[in-house]
């Protein structure tokens, strides 16, 4: 048995927050032949693409960071988007990984041939790689509403992830379609500067009130002087969200779920004065079935004199605005589409062909399925950060990404030795994992009867249905008996 380390050429697809993390951790582990392919002209992923007013992370800043890069200088408890983008960029610069990124290089084809992955981007063939790690995220394929006449609107119109920075909203009649987290943040951010604000609601949302104060100079100074305090808060907040909220939504903590439910209902009861408006803002589904909205000021903003919640169905878009089913034309100067993302597209439209000519599009024709959310049968040495059924709605994305990469790297260690060239989960292991997953999904709040971006095209919940502790345990050490290693 040889102990000589095998040289591996590695491709990382995506240079968002998880792709940057992958480059850094791979370098630390001694992998020195790594290239990241990024479809845009800059790094940052969803934090680069989204620049809308009010953009704020809904995870506390002291927890929404890389475990290896504490930041004592966050301005608020939950940082604004530009600050997070600056943080990711700063970490990339400090670790010197930007030189490994090839920008404007969207991957269009990946084919497993001769034991390696042949990669092709819009720039052409990129050669063969021993390992591919996808770090494409889930919030980068915008969904546009299928509303008649959308192209006829005469004013400015754009999706929130394609925000037109040149358009001033001051003194204008602004309409926003959608009521998710993005729309609620925009509402509070712009209502005071516009002449009239129309929020077109199809489905009301449950809203968890959470203050977002600025950190004082004294607090920042203490964080700077006491690194151990940052680490303590990082662990505390991750446990609070993981063991608290995450366990509640998967049916493992009824007591915590009851507290969350009561908190949201009380927020609505006391935060909205007008009974009719309160009725319109009251969801008919369980708290947490859709992604829970975190906001300290949405209810206040939507009750401003120049704000209007429109619940009539949109009939069509016209040159002058939005026509609703009651015949009314809501005249607008700017129309914003806060209609979210296709979170189930993953790295499509990339063409991926695995062992024996198996196309991923065929393997996933009925539903996206993997094993442990990181790997999938017949696609050797292909590792996914944020693969099927990842806990995208349970806890901090960066915690998810770091743990999934750690899992992949333990498998890659087998490839780095001379003893293994290909590693992929056994079909029977993947089947058993997905059967267990499907059996657990009914326990989650997401399966309680609502439409949400946690539900895939086949109507099945597509998130992690177990506890935070189970996720950490499963990611800690791969069960090698579940893999084909050749």
Please give the pLDDT value at position 2: 46
Q: In angstroms, rounded to a whole number, what is the distance separating the alpha carbons of residues 184 and 301?
A: 9
Q: pLDDT tier at 315 (50, 70, 90 boundaries)?
A: very high
By CB atoms closer than 10 A (0-12, 13-18, 19+), residue 296 is: middle
Residues 6+ apart with CB under 8 A from 96: none
By CB atoms closer than 10 A (0-12, 13-18, 19+), residue 181 is: buried
Give the DSSP H/E element, type plus range, for residue 127: strand 124-129
For residue range 99-149, list pLDDT tens digits in order. Answer: 999 999 999 999 999 999 999 999 999 999 999 999 999 888 899 999 999
Q: Return the structure tokens found at 252.
A: 């493992």
Contacts of residues 163-171 at CB distance under 8 Å and 24 or more positions apart, as own/partner, are 163/50, 163/51, 163/52, 165/51, 167/334, 169/53, 169/193, 169/194, 169/334, 170/194, 171/195
CA angle in degrees (0–180, nearest 5) for 67-73-77: 80
Contact of 18 with 386, CB cutoff 8 Å = yes
272 phi and psi angles, rounded to 5 deg? -120, 115
Give percent of the chain with pLDDT exceeding 90: 89
Please give the pLDDT value at position 244: 86
Q: pLDDT tier at 3 (50, 70, 90 boundaries)?
A: low
452 or 299: which leads in pLDDT: 299
Q: What pTM was estimated for this model as a whole?
A: 0.95
Q: In angstroms, rounded to a whole number, what is the distance separating the alpha carbons of residues 2 and 356?
A: 28
For residue range 45-63, list pLDDT tens digits in order. Answer: 999 999 999 999 999 999 9
The DSSP code for 80 is B
For residue range 259-291, list pLDDT tens digits in order. Answer: 999 999 999 999 999 999 999 999 999 999 999
Contact of 41 with 425, CB cutoff 8 Å = no
For residues 73-97, average pLDDT = 97
Contact of 103 with 38, CB cutoff 8 Å = yes
Contact of 245 with 255, CB cutoff 8 Å = no
Residues 6+ apart with CB under 8 A from 220: 72, 73
* Region label for 247, one of left (φ > 0), alpha (ψ between -120 and 50) or beta (otherwise): alpha
Q: pLDDT tier at 347 (50, 70, 90 boundaries)?
A: confident
Q: How far is CA 425 from CA 92, 178, 187, 311, in A?
A: 32, 40, 46, 48
The residues facing 351 across adjacent strands are 109
Using DSSP, state whether 383 is helix, strand or coil: strand
Contact of 3 with 417, CB cutoff 8 Å = yes
Helices and strands in the chain: count of H runs, count of E runs: 14, 21
Domains and CATH numbers, the chain: 10-141+342-485 (3.50.50.60), 150-211+236-337 (3.50.50.60)
Average pLDDT of the residues of the chain: 95
Please give the pLDDT value at position 1: 42
**105-137 as b/e, with b when 16 or more CB fall inside 10 Å?**
bbbeebbbeeebbbbbbeeeebebbbbbbbbbb
For residues 461-479, average pLDDT = 95
Q: Where would I find the beta strands (DSSP E) of 273-350?
A: 293-294, 307-310, 314-318, 321-324, 329-331, 334-337
For residue range 208-256, list pLDDT tens digits in order. Answer: 999 999 999 999 999 999 999 999 999 999 888 877 899 999 999 999 9
CA angle in degrees (0–180, nearest 5) for 31-37-43: 100
Contact of 176 with 186, CB cutoff 8 Å = yes
For residues 397-411, average pLDDT = 96
Using DSSP, state whether 119 is helix, strand or coil: strand
Q: In angstroms, rounded to a whole number, what is the distance separating the alpha carbons of residues 164 and 178?
A: 18
Please give the pLDDT value at position 303: 98
Count of beta carbons in the 10 Å neighbourhood of residue 448: 15
pLDDT of residue 37 exceeding 60, the answer is: yes
Please give the pLDDT value at position 297: 96
287 phi and psi angles, rounded to 5 deg? -55, 125
Q: How far is CA 366 from CA 131, 372, 459, in A?
A: 26, 18, 11
């Amino acid at each position: 048995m040889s102990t000589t380390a095998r040289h591996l050429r590695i491709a990382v697809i995506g240079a968002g927050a998880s792709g940057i993390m992958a480059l850094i951790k791979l370098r630390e582990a001694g992998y020195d032949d790594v290239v990241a392919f990024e479809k845009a002209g800059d790094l940052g992923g969803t934090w680069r693409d989204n620049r809308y007013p009010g953009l704020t992370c809904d995870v506390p800043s002291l927890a929404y960071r890389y475990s290896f890069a504490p930041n004592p200088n966050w301005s608020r408890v939950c940082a604004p988007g530009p600050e997070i983008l600056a943080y990711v960029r700063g970490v990339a610069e400090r670790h010197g990984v930007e030189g490994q990124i090839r920008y404007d290089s969207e991957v269009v084809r990946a084919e497993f041939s001769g034991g390696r992955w042949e990669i092709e981007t819009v720039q052409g063939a990129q050669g063969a790689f021993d390992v591919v790690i996808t770090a494409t995220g889930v919030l980068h394929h915008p969904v546009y509403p299928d509303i008649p006449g959308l192209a006829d609107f005469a004013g400015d119109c754009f999706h929130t992830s394609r925000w037109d920075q040149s358009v001033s909203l001051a003194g204008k009649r602004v309409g926003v379609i959608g009521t998710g987290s993005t729309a609620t943040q925009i509402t509070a951010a712009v209502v005071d500067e516009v002449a009239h604000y129309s929020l077109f609601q199809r489905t009301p949302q449950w809203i968890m009130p959470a203050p977002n104060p600025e950190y004082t100079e004294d607090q920042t100074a203490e964080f700077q002087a006491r690194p151990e305090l940052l680490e303590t808060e990082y662990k505390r907040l991750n446990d609070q969200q993981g063991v608290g909220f995450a366990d509640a939504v998967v049916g493992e903590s009824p007591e915590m779920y009851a507290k969350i439910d009561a908190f949201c209902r009380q927020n609505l009861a006391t935060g909205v004065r007008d009974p009719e408006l309160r009725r319109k803002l009251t969801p008919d589904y369980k708290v947490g079935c859709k992604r829970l909205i975190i906001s300290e000021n949405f209810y206040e903003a939507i009750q401003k004199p120049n704000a209007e919640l429109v619940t009539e169905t949109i009939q069509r878009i016209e040159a002058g605005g939005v026509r609703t089913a009651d015949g009314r034309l809501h005249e607008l100067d700017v129309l914003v589409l806060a209609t979210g993302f296709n979170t189930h597209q993953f790295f499509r439209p990339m063409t991926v062909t695995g062992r024996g000519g198996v196309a991923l599009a065929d393997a996933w024709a009925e539903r996206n399925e993997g094993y442990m959310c990181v790997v999938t049968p017949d696609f050797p040495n292909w590792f996914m950060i944020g693969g099927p059924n990842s806990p995208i709605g349970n806890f901090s994305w960066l915690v998810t990404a770091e743990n999934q990469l750690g899992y992949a790297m333990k498998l890659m260690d087998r490839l780095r030795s001379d003893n293994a060239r290909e590693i992929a989960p056994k079909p029977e292991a993947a089947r058993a994992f997905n059967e267990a997953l499907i059996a657990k999904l009914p326990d989650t709040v997401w399966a309680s009867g609502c439409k949400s971006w946690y539900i895939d095209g086949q109507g099945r919940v597509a998130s992690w249905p177990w506890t935070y502790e189970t996720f950490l345990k499963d990611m800690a050490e791969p069960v090698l008996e579940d893999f084909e290693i050749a």
